[in-house]
Structure formats: C-alpha cells, structure tokens
Chain A
C-alpha cells in the first residue's frame, strides 16, 4: 500500500525531490511498479470521465487513499512529502459518488484485464470498505447535534474558513490525533451519512447500517427528522410563485433615463473643461513678447468660454406637517416626526397618515385609503392599518415627482407647479389641482376634486380628468376617495405643533383634518382657539377646546370630555319635522337674500342646520355647519329663525337632534 500511495503522490506532484527521485528509481528498476502506476493512472482517468463535474481527481484520490488507508498510512512517502491541504469537505461530499464510481471502475478495470493487481492493491476504491468506514464513523460518533453542543458549536458557528486542513485533517479522518477535532470531523461525516441516507444514495447494506443506528439512537433519529424537515420547508419555500415584477419597468425606465442624463451632463462638463484648457493654451501662445508700451497695446485676453452649468433646480424645503401612527423614511431608524425634512430620493412608509408640505400651496397626504362612511367609528389600530408607501423621486422647484408604491396619496398642488404621481404603469400629471391617487398592486384609481389631471401610460395620455372626476385602471378598483387636504400647505410661517400621545382615541378631527389617533399624532395648526373632536373605539365623540400658543402644546387625553349623552332619545317622524320646517323655509331664504344685498353679493353654498329639540318640543339649540367661510350675520339670522320653531312633543318624552341640509344659490333655495 505504501508503494501505491507513493506512486499516487508522485503522480500528483506531491513528493519532495528526494521522494520523487526514489519513485523514479523504483520505476526504472521494476516492471511491476510501472504496471501499478499505469493502473492507477487508468483508474484516475476513468474516475475523471465518470465524474459529472471537473474534479481535481489526482488530489482527491490521494486524499481518499490517505483517508481510507488509516492503518496503512503513507509511511515513508508521508515522511518525505509536505502534504498539502486536503479538501476534506469536498472529499466527504463526494463519498457517495466515489462509491458509485469506484464500483464502475472496478468493473471496468476487470474488463480491461488489470483487475488482478489493481483491486487488491488500491483499497481506496473498495466501495464496501469505504462505506464501512463511513458507518464506523457514524457508529462511534455521538448524535450530530449533540456533539455540536458538547463542542460548544451550537451558538457560535466555527469560522467559515477554519477548516481542517493538512496534517490535522489527515489526523482527524484517520481517527488519530486529539479526540476533539476527530469528533468534529466525525460529526460532519455523520451528517453526510444521514444526508446520503435521506437522499437515498446509500447501498442496501449502508441503509441497513444507518437504520440500525437510527433504531438505537434517539439523537440520530432526531437529526434525520431535522434533515428531512428542513428539506421539506425548503421545498415548500420554492413552491411559492415569484410575484410578477413587470410593473418595475416604467419606474426603472425613468431611473435609467435620469442616470443617462447625468452621464451626458458629466460629459458636457468634461468637454467644457477641455475647451477652457485649450483657450488658456491659446492665450499663452498669442501673448508673444512684451510690447514696449504694455498698457496701450496689451492684447485683449481671449476669454475662456463661460462654463455651462446645467444647474439642478433648487430642492424644495419639504417637511412633515402632521403625523398619525408610524411613519419611517427607508434606511432611517428613527420614525419620522413633526417638522422632519422630506428628502428627495427617500421612500416613506406610513401606517396611519402623514401630511407633508412640499412648497407654498403644495402638499400631500399619504395614507392607506379613504375611510368608510359613517366614518370615525371604531377604526383599526395603527399596526393593523394598511401600509402606504411613497418614493419621493424628485422634490425640486421645477418639478415634483412621486412614485406611489402602495396606499393613497392626496395632493394639493399650487397652480403652475409641475407635479407627477407615478403609480404602477401609470403617471398622473397635474398643473394646479387637488386630487387623490390610490394604488393596490397594479390597480390604480384617481379622484380629482379640483382642476385637471392627465393619466399617462408610458408616454401615452390615456385619460384627461376635469374635476369632479374619478378614474380607475380596473373596473373593480377601489375608489381613491376625496382627497384629504394637507395641513399647513399654505402656512406663511411654521405653525406650532399640537400633539396627542397614543390614547384610547382612534380618530381625531381638527379644522377639517381627520387623522387616525391610536398610535399618537402630531400636527401643525395655527395659533389660537381650536375645537378638537375625538372618537374612541366605541364611536363615542369627545371634545376639547384647545388654545394653541406659539410654543405648541401636548394634549392630555383626559382633557377631551365625552359629549353628554341623553339617557333616552326622543323621536320625531320625518314627515312631522318636514311639516314644521317647510312653511318656514321662506324665512330662511329671506336671511340669505338679506345677506346677498347687504354684505355678501357672492354668497352661495350648502349648509347644514343641526337642530336640537327639547323634550317639550321647543328648539333648544341650533348650529350652522359649513365647510366654507360664512358671514356671521347670515349664520346668526339662520339660527335666530330656527330657534323660533316649535315641534310636537317628541315620542319617548326625550330630547333629540336632527340635521337639516340647506342649499342656497342666487336663484333661491
């Protein structure tokens, strides 16, 4: 054996000069040695042919020979050679294949007539022996996982590159040397054996041995079950279909266009620099010798061409003006807060709502979608709220470009601003308007509340929407809903902050802005008195009057008091109410006509009269609800008029309130 090992080592170029000389002397002396070398080379060639991937066979063969001839080591050959690092892992991985190829080789060598000497003298190709050794390692090793724990590897995996190499590897696989490293290698072999068993690449005998081991050892059974479970989970992960990403194409195209433009700009810059250098050179060359009267005759210097700056438009000073729930700018650990800058290029993700001011008169609201009517009742908690995501592609004075990734963005755009919202394959372009875009996957819907927007697909305009208008990319698409008005989009100076920490309230309204409140909120509001309405998770209204000072204010949820509920509610049939109100509508119209004549010639609009009726049928209170500016004398006139109404005693002998919608135009009611 040592002779064969020496021959293999010689063939692989592993011997020292002295070792190689000795082998060559033996080759010259003995025909038998020459035959053995030829056989070994034939075997290596066959193995090389059989192997599906190019493998460093001579080296591997030496490794195999070394590993498997534990008791018949290289002997003098080893003493004379420096043994290079062995591919121990690869060696182990290729064991099942080596078994198969060795069998094929044996058969082939038998046919070639060299069987007489080779099989007996190359035990490394003895498949049974190979497997026996594998099994022996398995039998003497502890359970793989158990060993790992004992060796302290369970928590800290050994460094990837800290592989057993060289002599120590040989010692390990031979079972010599220190016990611990050998156990490490055996553990690896045990795992390989289990893998081979699970892959069904062992011979019947091998399977029997593994099964015998499994029957004896619960730890090995557990290890095999884990091997199978992981294989199973991996297979299941593969089943999951890959989502379609064709929608990436459009934003990608834009990005690529931008990169290309930047490249061109760099090239222009370089060319300008070259021109400037050439001009400077020209100047030097034309100067010539100094003139006698330098002042009078100094040549006019050739001015270098003015550098052409393709200046980027100024970045917008965009900031967060209201925030409810959780919002993050991608790549930043801290959540976004009130007053934080919105930076070009960042992706904003929101659960809840975020209001941002981009420029004077231009702002946006990012949220999961419109709230359903009757809204403000029990709302989902913030972490259940749908996520909205928006990439701020461009925030510059010349143009604002946003890419809506999910959810809804409501936009208020000052006239004259170039403003584009990309949503999936669509682009929604505007010039001065208020509109909302909603995206769920590739389904996009748009609602325009003021002004005009164009919907583009690629470069093609597919819809032109004039307010009031809605558009959906798919008939089933959810509506975008009315655009929320961004807070403080037109504030001349930064408004103070009003904060409400996380509380039992799910929804808060202030000056027409409604925000989810469960995760806490903060918003900008003008200094002065505000009425804040909050809804708890039972839909109960709470109110507080807040006087906001310049330094801002944090509200305590206890400051919000529930609206007083009548223990019983009265009832008046609609026709009864109508019977009382109808004959008196002319008085309300007179209020309107008086205001038209005296104070507000342009007055028109819709109003709601909220009327509270006492248990005795008399009107106890009237409020005019309006979402625009209404002249106070007009409001007062309406209220005074309504307060004179008398209704029959309500059913149930209790108070009630009802809303009366009114619409006034110059033609009358």
Chain B
C-alpha cells in the first residue's frame, strides 16, 4: 500500500516512523532459531520457558491482534487465547515452518474465530480508540478525534470484508508482511494472496464513500490532484459562457 505524504492535504502529519513500520518486509516476529531450546522446553511443558516465550512474543501478538480487531477492549482476551493455544499446540509444532510463521498463523486463526463469534453477537456501544502515542504533542485533540473516527470507519469497512480477504489485507497493508510470507501463513499460493489483496482493496475502494469520515479524505485527495477533467472544465466554461450570454 503506498504511503501518501499528508502534507498540503490539511490532514495531520503522521509520526515519522509509521511509514517505515508498515512497509512490506520480512516477518518481524522476534525470531528464535528453530532449534531454540526455549521452544523445545516450552513444548515439553516447562511453564517457566513458556512464560519467557510469552514475554518475547506478547508485543508482536498483541500488535497483530490489534491490527485485526482495531480498537477493542477484547484485545487482552484474544491475546491470552492465542497463547493458551500456543501452549496447547506447541507439542505439535515440528519446525516445518518458522516459529514466527506458525505463531502468525495461530494468531490469525484465533483472531478470526473471535471475529466470527463477535459477528454473531450484538455489539455494545463503540469502544473509543486509545489515545495515540504521547510523542506527537503537535496534534490537536480535534485532529486526534478525527483520526480516531477514520480508524474506526476503516475497521467498520474491514468488518464487511470476507474473512480471507480481510486476513490478507490486514497482514499486508497494516502489518506490512510480504505476500510470500502471507502465503505461508494462510497456506495459499502467493498468487492467491495477491488476488485476495487486490479484491479486498477494490472492495474497500468502492465502499470508502459510505463512511463519511473516509469520503471526506477522498474528496480532499481529489481536490489535490493536478489538472481538472476536460469534461468538467468544459462544462464549467460552457456554463460560464451561457451565464455570460444571459447577462
């Protein structure tokens, strides 16, 4: 997903590192080697080793779950569920894939199950988006509120995507994984991943206008584009001409 500079668009500037943090790249889990004794010990039921494994990976798992769920007070529950699954399934982890890939897959699956359950449940009132990092003091509260609104709107649109498409889009555009890695995580050919990504984006492009917070961003970007469509320009000039003729 291209990262567009926000200057001159009237949108608040994003903190510097966000552009780079979202770039597609290699899996960013804290990668232990496959022969990591910690994994072996945890798999054998060593609870202290498992605790250490949790500490190593909790931030990554929390980040991925957060990317999937968006603002949610259920984050902790889901993260815990992920690690309970990790503990249960570790004995069956044979090291066929990288541990990070395995963990990503498990996280994605548990989150998917959670989202599935959530869809069949009535929603309580919206959860406020947590305050953004403290190191952007230049942001006005209004800007923060507007951005939160946009983020919530984005997640509402994501809620409408089919599960598989959502997974690929979140992992690629939000988590910044490369299609090759995603293919391994979702156990599908790279081609399929790209296709899902393409259709996911396309659906989102089409739906953007339905969320006022995002439609206004589209409108602003539209205004910023150089030149004007000839047809429009002609229309306006002919309107002017006809007005002139009348006067």
- Which positions in A face B, CB cutoff 8 Å? 53, 87, 89-90, 93, 144-145, 148, 153-154, 157-158, 160-161, 163, 188, 191, 195, 198-200, 211, 214-218, 221-249, 251-253, 255-257, 259-260, 263, 326, 328, 330-331, 333, 335, 347, 349, 351, 383-384, 387, 389, 405-406
- Contact of B62 with A243 in the complex, beta carbons under 8 Å: yes
Given the interface pairs A234-B173, A243-B75, A259-B87, the reply to whether A195 lies near B199 with Cβ below 8 Å is no
Q: Whole-angstrom distance from the CB of A439 to the nearest CB of chain B?
A: 12
- Residues on B with C-beta less than 8 A from A256 are 47, 50, 84, 87
From B84, B124, B153, B199, A349 is in contact (CB under 8 Å) with B124
A498 to B105, CA, bound (A): 49
Nearest CB to that of B48 among chain A residues? A253
- Contact of A245 with B198 in the complex, beta carbons under 8 Å: no
- Contact of B1 with A145 in the complex, beta carbons under 8 Å: no
Q: Whole-angstrom distance from the CB of B137 to the nearest CB of chain A?
A: 15
Judged by a CB distance under 8 angstroms, whether B29 is at the interface is no
- Contact of A157 with B22 in the complex, beta carbons under 8 Å: no
A154 to B165, CA, bound (A): 15
Given the interface pairs A160-B164, A239-B133, A260-B45, the reply to whether A248 lies near B76 with Cβ below 8 Å is yes
Given the interface pairs A235-B22, A240-B71, the reply to whether A252 lies near B77 with Cβ below 8 Å is no
- Residues on A with C-beta less than 8 A from B173 are 234
- Residues on A with C-beta less than 8 A from B201 are 191, 230
- Contact of B199 with A218 in the complex, beta carbons under 8 Å: no
A326 to B122, CA, bound (A): 11
Instruction: State the main secondary structure of chain B at its contact with A.
Output: helix
Q: Whole-angstrom distance from the CB of B89 to the nearest CB of chain A?
A: 11
- Contact of B11 with A232 in the complex, beta carbons under 8 Å: yes
Given the interface pairs A157-B162, A211-B226, A253-B51, the reply to whether A222 lies near B22 with Cβ below 8 Å is no
- Contact of A221 with B151 in the complex, beta carbons under 8 Å: no
Nearest CB to that of A258 among chain B residues? B84
Judged by a CB distance under 8 angstroms, whether B56 is at the interface is no
- Which positions in B face A, CB cutoff 8 Å? 1-4, 6, 11, 14-15, 18-19, 21-22, 45, 47, 50-51, 54-55, 58-59, 61-63, 66-67, 70-71, 73, 75-77, 79-80, 83-84, 87-88, 117, 120-122, 124-125, 129-130, 132-133, 147, 150-151, 153-155, 162, 164-165, 173-174, 176, 178, 180, 190-192, 194-196, 198-199, 201-206, 208, 214, 217-219, 221-222, 225-232
- Residues on B with C-beta less than 8 A from A200 are 2
A655 to B149, CA, bound (A): 54
Q: Whole-angstrom distance from the CB of A637 to the nearest CB of chain B?
A: 53
- Contact of B129 with A240 in the complex, beta carbons under 8 Å: yes
22 A–B pairs (Cβ distance < 8 Å), ordered by A? A144-B205, A145-B205, A191-B201, A199-B2, A215-B229, A221-B225, A230-B1, A231-B1, A232-B4, A232-B11, A233-B150, A234-B22, A235-B1, A242-B63, A245-B75, A248-B76, A326-B124, A328-B121, A331-B121, A347-B77, A349-B124, A405-B77
Most buried by B among A144, A240, A255, A351: A240
A540 to B20, CA, bound (A): 59
